[in-house]
Structure formats: C-alpha cells, structure tokens
Chain A
Amino acid sequence: DAGVTQTPRHEVAEKGQTIILKCEPVSGHNDLFWYRQTKIQGLELLSYFRSKSLMEDGGAFKDRFKAEMLNSSFSTLKIQPTEPKDSAVYLCASSLNRDEQYFGPGTRLTVL
C-alpha cells in the first residue's frame, strides 16, 4: 500500500517567490492535514480538510499560506510570497475519521 507521498522533498526559494508543495494522501483516507515543523514550535497545523472541505485553516497562517484539495487524492500548499522565516519542514498527513495520522516524508523548504 502506498503511504502519503509528498513532492518535492527539498525546495529552495528566494524571498518573495511563490512555491507550491504537493501531497497525495493514503487512498481511502478522508482527512488531510498540512503541518509546519520547527524545532521550537513543534508541529503547527496549517490546514485540515475533511472530505475535501476545509475544516481548519490554522489561524495565523492565513495570509500567505493557502492549501487546496481539488480532489480526494491530491492537495497543494501554496506559500506566496515566501519569507526566510518560512524555512521549515512541511508535513502532510492523512487519516480516516481523525484516527491515527499517517505522515508523508515532508518537504524541507529553505527560503534565502
């Protein structure tokens, strides 16, 4: 069974650029989560979708972060414009009815 896949694994962007991260959840899962991981803050929730509908948008991340789920098997996270403080690992996870979450390998973003 394929787990959660994320692309790219690494991304380097200049300040002010637009970047799009991609995620494919586990087939059959109806929940999809986007997180940002830093050592200090731990995992911060950016967005949560239930059956493609946006349920939570992570509050403080609204301005430059936009997650979309156009179909049940694909989601994107757009950061526009990027800032150096956005450098982090971005994790996508999926679950079935908010039970245990299956994490993707993450995308390491570096903003110069």
Chain B
Amino acid sequence: GDQVEQSPSALSLHEGTGSALRCNFTTTMRAVQWFRKNSRGSLINLFYLASGTKENGRLKSAFDSKERYSTLHIRDAQLEDSGTYFCAAGGNNRIFFGDGTQLVVKP
C-alpha cells in the first residue's frame, strides 16, 4: 500500500491567504523533504527535515517522526507559488513520494 498520504490533492488560494499541506506516513520515516516541481519538471528543494520545524520566507514546515506526519504551511500566497508540491520521506534505502498537491493561486 501507499506509504505516504498527501493532502489535499488540489488547493486553490487567493493571493494573500494561506493554507497547509499535509503528509501522513504509514510507518516511521527517518526524514522528510518537500519539493516544488518547476516548469521543466525538475524537483526544487523547499525543505529537508529530520525533526522539528524550519521556516523560509513565507513557507514553514514541520516533521514529527513519532506521530508520522509532516506539514508545509504557506502564508501570504503569491501568484508565483502556483505549482505542484510533493513531500518525500524515507528510510532503509527507500524514499516514498506523496502524490502531490496542485496549488493554484488566484488574483
């Protein structure tokens, strides 16, 4: 079965608002990484966490290995934040990706 459950699958935000993406894991993961897919299909790193929280500008991420989840918070969303966001988590030589969240930011 799927090791990573990412939600929501799609999200629409108005400029200036915020929301959170979430990944739940069916097993204990060693670390989590959040990406955004760029226009060329490459994965751009947003955060890498082995525990705790990290913040970068309008983005903030948290990872709780024991409770088996990670979140990505976006505040004051801008048009250029639109895209597909993925979480990936793993351990034991395997990394499992969520199915992605397609974010659309509207004026």
Contacts and interface: CB of A to CB of B under 8 A. Distances in A.
B18 interface: no
Given A100-B33, A101-B33, A102-B45, A42 B95 contact: yes
B90 A100 contact: no
Given A42-B90, A43-B88, A100 B45 contact: yes
Q: Interface size bucket, A side?
A: 10 to 19
B28 interface: no
Nearest to A43: B95
B48 A45 contact: no
Nearest to A37: B97
Contact of A99 (B3, B42, B48, B96): B48
A45 B93 contact: yes
A3 B48 CA distance: 17
Contacts of A37: 97
Contacts of A106: 41
A44 interface: yes
A49 interface: no
Interface in A24-53: 35, 37, 41-45
B33 A44 contact: no
Given A56-B93, A101-B33, 7 more contacts: A42-B90, A43-B94, A43-B96, A100-B45, A100-B48, A103-B35, A105-B40
